[in-house]
Chains A and B, each alone.
Chain A
Amino acid sequence: MKHDPNTPQGSAYRNGTAPAGPAEAVRPAREPVLAVRGLRTAVRTASGPLEILRGVDLDVERGETVAVVGESGSGKSFTALSVAGLLPGGAEVTDGRVLLEGRDLVTLPEEERRRIRGAEIGMVYQDPMTSLNPVMRIGKQVTEGLRAHGWSKEAAHERALDVLGEVGLPSPRALMRQYPHQLSGGMRQRVLIACALAPRPKVLIADEPTTALDVTIQQQILATVSRLRDEYGLAVVWITHDLGVVARIADRVAVMYAGRVAELSGTRRLFTAPQHPYTDGLLRSLPTPAHPHQAPLPQIGGSPILLSDLPRGCPFAARCPHRADHCTTEEPPLLDRDSSRAACWFPRNEWTGKRLEVTGRAQDA
């Protein structure tokens, strides 16, 4: 049982003291637009506070897309809501920092924070029908946010026309007078993106925005967002469970598990040499063209973790085919692994000799 030399650095993470340095290890070049450090978010429950985010680290640079992937309960949506300051009642950030160009949004006075969030961080949700007001014309929905941020009526109107065109919607002038129900799902999603981008934010956070759309429409929206990212140098955070989407649009990927980032890698590297056994298991379980037809798919055993009942040590240990004794006693921090970072005590080359066991059995119950 060896300890990684990086351990001391990681323990700072666990304590929530959030060192500013380590996350840049993946890409040390520039100051990130958005830097999340040791972010902890908890919700009130009948049995006391439940930690949903347990120290999330993430940063996004100008002009890049970082995908945040995870399964239900991994904390990916809470990460988005915490950063955007849109947590539901009963949930609050308890520790850590959200740095937008160096300013910590967590400690900023409420009014200032609200101003910055609306104008500089745009947010898009999965379901465009529930996010748009059904009885308000499209034009009003786009200009409303701008007006709230002090734009004049005329300037807001002009900007709305521009941004509707920028997101690829035809005839913006006519569109401004329409209602959401008159638009297709894909068009509504574009309207939402236009609303988010209207104030020219530096960061766009998208929470599964294409999941409900048909795949050919999804592909069109991915193309549009990637174009806007390049044209405006947007920093994009794309929350998704779909590894196909990740492969298409992300520069880097944060894989979340049990309220923390389990792995942070460049996209290509993630797919070719995943550094965390959970990522490895996820990728193996996909039916890729290389997988023999109708042959059993390697499964990740066990059940997803319950945040209310976290074991000691690594939260993935119980399902990990490479588990060692040490894994069940101490939770690994995000450790540098070549050009990636992974919350696993062992470097990939120490466990890739083995393979995830293929079983047809249910691991449930």
Chain B
Amino acid sequence: MRRTRDTAEPPRSLPADTENAGATGGTPAIDVRGVVRHYRSAGRGTVHALDDVSVRVERGRVLGVVGESGCGKSTLARLLTRLERPDAGSVEVLGARVDTAKRGALRRLRRTIQLVFQDPYASLDPRQRTGAALAEVLAVHGLPSGPDQVAALLEQVGLVPALAERYPHQLSGGQRQRLGIARALAVRPEVLVLDEPVSALDVSVRAEIMNLLVKLREELGLTFVFISHDLGMVRHFADDIAVMYLGKIVEVGPWDAVSDEPLHPYTKALQAAVLLPDPAQGQGGVEAVVTGEVPDAAAPPSGCRFHPRCPLAEDVCRTDEPALLPVPRVGAAGTPGSGEHRLACHVMRRRLAEAADAAQSPSQTTADTAGAAVRVEKKTGE
């Protein structure tokens, strides 16, 4: 009954960082460490869906995950919700191991973290009324499942209780997605993982669903992992953003730093290709921002996986895989209280380090130099 959207592509995953996400103490909502997930594929070899991905989300925060097909973002969603298990590494949700959970622990886990799919229609029984579908979820988890509980769930997602009598095909796309969210909320989870929840919806309906998510977050204090290829939507809702490419997190940090002052050349390409151009600046233009196509995840490039398409690539990028490390501070990026900005790029890290050095020497050009390093990148990216 699961959606089948990814049949032709390897799974996707998500990002975060392990040590010191810069947040408060206590158990994080999500703690993913060094997760690896490979698939054997007939004729293709081993697909590297996720390679050594670590990410952490503090309670009550929203992690946005962006990337294109094959980047691993959906695989990450499936590992978090234990639809799959990692080949290596660990996944913890609210302090409990997900990847090794058994029986009772697994059942508790299913009430802690829930997944919402892109197209809830694919996971709804066409012959079951919406009310009955919700009641069934409640009953399975041993919760009260009467009409009152069903009505309360519908109201929570902005649907009138009368909708309980309808069949899925009688609902609009927006109503179906609300129903999908209601079904996830039925077990009162603390963490919601949303995989492309608005991508299939009409533009005018997307705002409704986004507003519902913001409302649920405020009312229920949920932790979210919001997965999308649309940097604009992720930017709007997320506190922190992780950018994935071919099974790796290439950049992660506070939403404003990652979306508005991206450092990784791939994030810049996404920014240029996805964000709505500023109409005051005239047309956004269609200069292709990066060349080439996403390589086969069964044969990821050596060194930095982005290097064959990267405008900045140097020799070191072809041989050495860059680690995801904190960005040398040059003053610009970062919001107080947010997670740390991390980057996996040899060239940009070197440029930023040089800029930071220059800034420390008692010359006058601190911010200028730093800014220049960043600006150079922007130019290349456009």
Contact = CB atoms under 8 A, between A and B. Distances in A.
A139 B68 CA distance: 30
A74 B275 CA distance: 24
A299 B287 CA distance: 32
Nearest to A272: B279
Contacts of A249: 283, 286
Nearest to A215: B273
A241 interface: yes
Interface size of A as a range: 35 or more
A80 to B, nearest CB: 18
A223 B236 contact: no
Contact of A241 (B202, B208, B233, B293): B202
Interface stretch (B32-40, B94-102, B143-151, B156-164): B156-164
7 contacts: A216-B309, A248-B283, A285-B206, A287-B236, A297-B210, A364-B163, A365-B163
Interface size of B as a range: 35 or more
A71 B285 contact: no
A71 B204 contact: yes
Contacts of B215: 360
A108 interface: no
Interface in A278-293: 281-282, 285-289, 291, 293
B172 A214 contact: no
Given A71-B202, A216-B289, A223-B287, A244 B207 contact: no
B285 A248 contact: yes
Nearest to B214: A294
A296 B174 CA distance: 17
B291 interface: yes
B34 to A, nearest CB: 27
Contacts of B232: 244, 286-288
A245 B288 CA distance: 13
A282 B203 contact: yes
Nearest to A295: B214
Count chain A CB atoms within 10 A of each CB in B157, B160, B210 and give the residue with the most. B210
Interface in B181-230: 202-204, 206-208, 210-212, 214-215, 229
Contacts of B291: 220
Count chain B CB atoms within 10 A of each CB in A72, A219, A293 and give the residue with the most. A219
A289 B202 contact: no
B175 A271 contact: no
Contacts of A271: 279
A354 interface: no
Contact of A223 (B235, B274, B276, B286): B286
B112 interface: no
A216 B255 contact: no
Given A220-B288, A294-B214, A268 B229 contact: no
Contact of A287 (B178, B233, B279): B233
Count chain A CB atoms within 10 A of each CB in B174, B203, B309 and give the residue with the most. B203
Closest 4 CB pairs between A and B?
Answer: A362-B158, A271-B279, A287-B236, A285-B207
A243 interface: yes
B279 A184 contact: no
Interface of A: 71-72, 184, 186-187, 214-220, 222-223, 226, 241, 243-244, 247-249, 267-268, 271-272, 281-282, 285-289, 291, 293-300, 303-304, 360-365
B229 A214 contact: yes
B69 interface: yes
Given A291-B236, A365-B163, A247 B212 contact: no
A272 B280 CA distance: 7
B163 A244 contact: no
A362 B159 contact: yes
Nearest to A362: B158
Nearest to B274: A215
B349 to A, nearest CB: 22
Given A216-B68, A362-B208, A226 B276 contact: no
B250 interface: no
Nearest to B287: A223
Interface of B: 68-69, 157-160, 162-163, 172-175, 178, 202-204, 206-208, 210-212, 214-215, 229, 232-233, 235-237, 255-256, 260, 269-270, 272-280, 282-291, 293-294, 309
B108 to A, nearest CB: 30
Contact of B277 (A226, A248, A293): A248
A71 B206 CA distance: 12
Given A219-B289, A360-B211, 16 more contacts: A214-B229, A215-B270, A216-B270, A219-B273, A219-B288, A226-B286, A244-B274, A268-B279, A281-B204, A298-B207, A303-B172, A360-B212, A362-B157, A362-B178, A364-B158, A364-B160
Nearest to B166: A365
Contacts of B285: 248
A352 to B, nearest CB: 16
A214 B214 contact: no
A326 B337 CA distance: 53
A291 B255 CA distance: 14
A71 B203 contact: yes
A293 B256 contact: yes
Contacts of A218: 273
A32 B175 CA distance: 42
Nearest to B270: A215
Contacts of B283: 247-249, 267-268
Count chain A CB atoms within 10 A of each CB in B160, B211, B255, B290 and give the residue with the most. B211
Contacts of B229: 214-215
B208 to A, nearest CB: 5
A249 to B, nearest CB: 6
A193 to B, nearest CB: 14
Contact of B279 (A219, A247, A361): A247
A293 B217 CA distance: 14
B288 A223 contact: yes
A286 B290 CA distance: 25
A365 B207 CA distance: 17
Nearest to A226: B286
B214 A299 contact: no
Nearest to A73: B202
Nearest to B174: A364
Contacts of A184: 293
A287 B269 contact: no
Nearest to A287: B236
A243 B232 CA distance: 12
A286 B68 contact: no
Nearest to B239: A294
A159 B293 CA distance: 26
